[in-house]
Structure 1
Amino acid sequence: MIGLLVVTIGCNEVRRDTGKVYMPDMSYSRALETYSSTEALTQAGIHYNARPVEGTIARGAMGSYPFKNDSAGYARSAVVKNPLDVAAVDMKEAERIYLINCGICHGTKLDGNGPLWKGGDGPYPAAPRNLITDPLATTLAEGTMFHSITYGKNLMGGYGSQLSTKQRWEIVAYIKVKQAEAAAPATAAVN
């Protein structure tokens, strides 16, 4: 009898209130949820994650690279100069970025003998360019080098999506400084 009474009272719909909610903001967010629609805000004149105005540059950022990845853009890139002052470039940071992104193929000494080549024993199908002794690499304009880093060239993939504009220019400055250092002893020996 007592069991029947407990079941009857338990199934009664008299009290279905869940009680007080402790910290309701944990379940019911007052803020906007990630990736939720912002259409109502846009209609109210509030714009989040809107595209920047055409031609503007964010504070502290460098302008974007103006040339496309085609033969005309590659040819035009030769006139572009490095906007960074080489003396102001942190060469330790530039070297770090180079070793992470470029050294795997071009090597720590810029000799084209990185871990992916290993003198022909690595998995890379062709020898990367020697950035110190190859005449094409040593005479390559800064803008053309930047274009190649941004979009890639031959078997080398582009790094435009992985590196900021400033980081790519720092790598160009690092390579040019190392090329000048390698050429200096050779010039001194000739004199």
Structure 2
Amino acid sequence: MIGLIVAATGCNEVRRDPGKIYVPDMYYSRALETYSSTEALTQAGIHYNARPVEGTVARGAMAAYPFKNDSVGYARSAEVKNPLNASAVDMKETERIYLINCGICHGAKLDGNGPLWKGGDGPYPAAPRNLVTDPIATNMAEGTMFHSIKYGKNLMGGYGSQLSTKQCWEIVAYIKAKQAEAANPAMAAVN
């Protein structure tokens, strides 16, 4: 009997009205796909900018390099220190990145004798800098080295468009580690 009463009251024609809805655009949301095309917005005259807000840094990303590619930026780059801990850098992966991007000129041994120079027999017109023994390279600040990798210097082109900021800093750490090994061969033998 109770079940019959419940069934009868549940199946009546009385509409259940929730009352007034505060902020209906939030209550009845439009079904938009997160990564859908924005062409419909553009056609409606709404111009959508998908670029991040200037000055923001994505979670887990490194802060942007603050200096421009000019003489002032190059001079001030010496103030910047490598934000990566040298022990945290994966030297095997960084060596691979170095060989792909830098080794063609500077050589696998960082001696400036890469395939494009070949001791003067290659197609390159000038010897690339020896990154291990040249005093200019060994005394170069980390930030200046980063600036040179990112923007290029003299005959060397910039690699800022091919390498991420983190990869540039890893290459700086790799070069500095190889310079330290060359300066102290006894430590290199231990490692």
Class of the TM-score when normalised by the shorter of the 2 chains:
0.7 to 0.9
Q: Which residue of 2 aligns with 1:22?
A: none
Q: Which residue of 2 aligns with 1:58?
A: 58
Q: Calculate the aligned-residue CA RMSD, in Å.
A: 2.5
Residue 152 in structure 1 maps to residue 135 in structure 2: no
Q: Identical aligned pairs, as a percentage?
A: 78
Q: Which residue of 2 aligns with 1:131?
A: 131
State the TM-score, normalized to the length of structure 2.
0.75
Cα-to-partner distance string for 1:161-190 (whole Å, 9 max, x where unaligned): 0000000000000000000000002899xx
CA distance in 2, matches of 1:42, 1:150: 38
Q: Which residue of 2 aligns with 1:179?
A: 179
CA distance in 2, matches of 1:138, 1:121: 26
Cα-to-partner distance string for 1:22-75 (whole Å, 9 max, x where unaligned): xxxxxxxxx9986845425774x9x5x522122110111111111011111000
1:1-191 paired onto structure 2 within 5 Å: 36=39, 38-39=41-42, 43=46, 47=48, 50-185=50-185
Indicate conservation of the 8 Å contact 2:181/2:187, yes or no. Answer: no
CA distance in 2, matches of 1:34, 1:118: 51
The range that moved more, 33-42 or 75-84, is 33-42
Moved over 2 A (4+): 31-38, 40-43, 185-188
Cα-to-partner distance string for 1:51-106 (whole Å, 9 max, x where unaligned): 21221101111111110111110000001000000000000011000000000000
Question: Structure 1 regions of 5+ residues with no counterpart?
Answer: 1-30
State the TM-score, normalized to the length of structure 1.
0.75
Evaluate the alpha carbon distance shift between residue 187 and residue 136 of structure 1 in structure 2; reply closer, same or farther with a 3 A threshold. Answer: farther
Evaluate the alpha carbon distance shift between residue 112 and residue 53 of structure 1 in structure 2; reply closer, same or farther with a 3 A threshold. Answer: same
Q: Which residue of 2 aligns with 1:11?
A: none
Aligned pairs, how many? 155
Evaluate the alpha carbon distance shift between residue 40 and residue 133 of structure 1 in structure 2; reply closer, same or farther with a 3 A threshold. Answer: same
CA distance in 2, matches of 1:141, 1:76: 11
Evaluate the alpha carbon distance shift between residue 73 and residue 42 of structure 1 in structure 2; reply closer, same or farther with a 3 A threshold. Answer: same
Evaluate the alpha carbon distance shift between residue 40 and residue 154 of structure 1 in structure 2; reply closer, same or farther with a 3 A threshold. Answer: same
